Amino acid sequence: MVTLVEEPVDVAAVFRGGKLRPTVFLWRGRRYEIRRVLGTYRAMKGRYLELYYSVMSDNPEVYELRFSTEGMSWSLVRVHGEE
């Protein structure tokens, strides 16, 4: 089941090999350590770049994070989980 969230989140990230990589995010008062980045893609929204990351924590859900250069902000876009 895919749940559309579209909520702002706080994210800690690092640059490795010239690329941005999220390491931790805070959502609804809970801290999620990112254990694995499953995939990334980028898209243009008008003149702004958006970077998308599919990530896993210690639970079975997959989280889709977005970094937007418009406002330099992070959002949790979707949560993919089992029904």
Angle ∠(37,47,14) on CA atoms, nearest 5: 30
pTM, two decimals, is 0.93
- What pLDDT, on a 0 to 100 scale, did the predictor assign at position 40? 96
Average pLDDT, 10 consecutive residues per value, the chain (83 residues): 96 93 96 96 96 95 97 97 78
The pLDDT score that the predictor gives to residue 82 is 79
Domain boundaries, the chain: 2-80
> For every residue of 45-58, which 3-state class applies, written as one string?
ECCEEEEEEEEECC
